[in-house]
Chains A and B, each alone.
Chain A
Amino acid sequence: EPEVTQTPSHQVTQMGQEVILRCVPISNHLYFYWYRQILGQKVEFLVSFYNNEISEKSEIFDDQFSVERPDGSNFTLKIRSTKLEDSAMYFCASRWAGLANNEQFFGPGTRLTVL
């Protein structure tokens, strides 16, 4: 069964450093998403991406964040200068464009720890 994969599973970085979180969506999916979950809190939407551009973003997704689909398979989230409050689990999700029901398939997540 196809699945969304994410690397690394755990990333530790120093405050102020840049990090890139990687995701490989399901191959025939066309909508891509990043969500995050701060420890003990709910899952929050960051950004959605379709047709090589951002289709929607939340207020969390400020200028420190960017997304990219550098090739036909990867979907990345970059945080330019990490802050302590960026420590969270980051989930990638994807869905097929033909589905009107918005069923999103989630990856296992990357736990980001900012020291």
Chain B
Amino acid sequence: AQSVTQLDSQVPVFEEAPVELRCNYSSSVSVYLFWYVQYPNQGLQLLLKYLSGSTLVESINGFEAEFNKSQTSFHLRKPSVHISDTAEYFCAVSEGNTPLVFGKGTRLSVIA
């Protein structure tokens, strides 16, 4: 069975500092990996996804994640965060057409 572990429940970081949100997964087959973001009082928005090909994927707002098969990880990074990045970030995995399995989420708090 698939599972997702997000080791950090909360990550405070100063504005313009770099950040890494960790995600590890377990699966017995090839997977699709996703990062969703949830801003306060809003729904889930897809931030970026890994399907196949290049192991480094990027979002339009400066986030990137790297799929590491040997370490079964899909960590999310941003070199310089902004106040507007304050949100809850969820890592999720699926095996083809299976439902998404989510991690518990990491609350990113950007401090001015």
Interface size class of B (residues with CB under 8 A): 20 to 34
B100 to chain A, nearest CB (A): 6
Report if B46 contacts A (CB, 8 A). yes
B-contact bits for A78-110, CB 8 A (1 contact / 0 none): 000000000000010100000011111111110
B100: A residues at CB distance < 8 A: 35, 43, 45, 102, 104
| Among candidates B92, B99, B102, residue contacting A33 with C-beta atoms closer than 8 Å | B99
Q: Is the CB of A100 within 8 A of B96?
A: yes
* Interface of chain A residues 49 through 87 with chain B (CB within 8 A): 56, 58
Given A41-B104, A101-B49, residue A106 in contact with residue B99 (CB < 8 A) = no
* A93-B104 Cα distance, complex, nearest whole Å: 18
A41: B residues at CB distance < 8 A: 104
* A107-B38 Cα distance, complex, nearest whole Å: 11
| Among candidates B44, B94, B101, residue contacting A106 with C-beta atoms closer than 8 Å | B44
A108 to chain B, nearest CB (A): 4
B57 to chain A, nearest CB (A): 12
Q: Which chain A residue lies CB-closest to B104?
A: A42
* A41-B43 Cα distance, complex, nearest whole Å: 15
Given A43-B90, A43-B102, residue A106 in contact with residue B36 (CB < 8 A) = yes
A33: B residues at CB distance < 8 A: 99
Q: Which of B32, B44, B92 has the most CB of A within 10 A?
A: B44
What are 30 contact pairs spanning A and B, CB under 8 A?
A6-B43, A35-B100, A35-B102, A41-B104, A42-B90, A42-B102, A42-B103, A42-B105, A43-B44, A43-B90, A43-B100, A43-B102, A43-B105, A45-B99, A45-B100, A45-B101, A56-B98, A56-B99, A58-B99, A100-B96, A100-B97, A101-B32, A102-B96, A102-B97, A103-B46, A104-B100, A107-B43, A108-B42, A108-B43, A109-B43
Interface residues of B (CB under 8 A from A): 32, 34, 36, 42-46, 49, 51, 90, 92, 94, 96-105
Interface residues of A (CB under 8 A from B): 6, 33, 35, 41-45, 48, 56, 58, 91, 93, 100-109
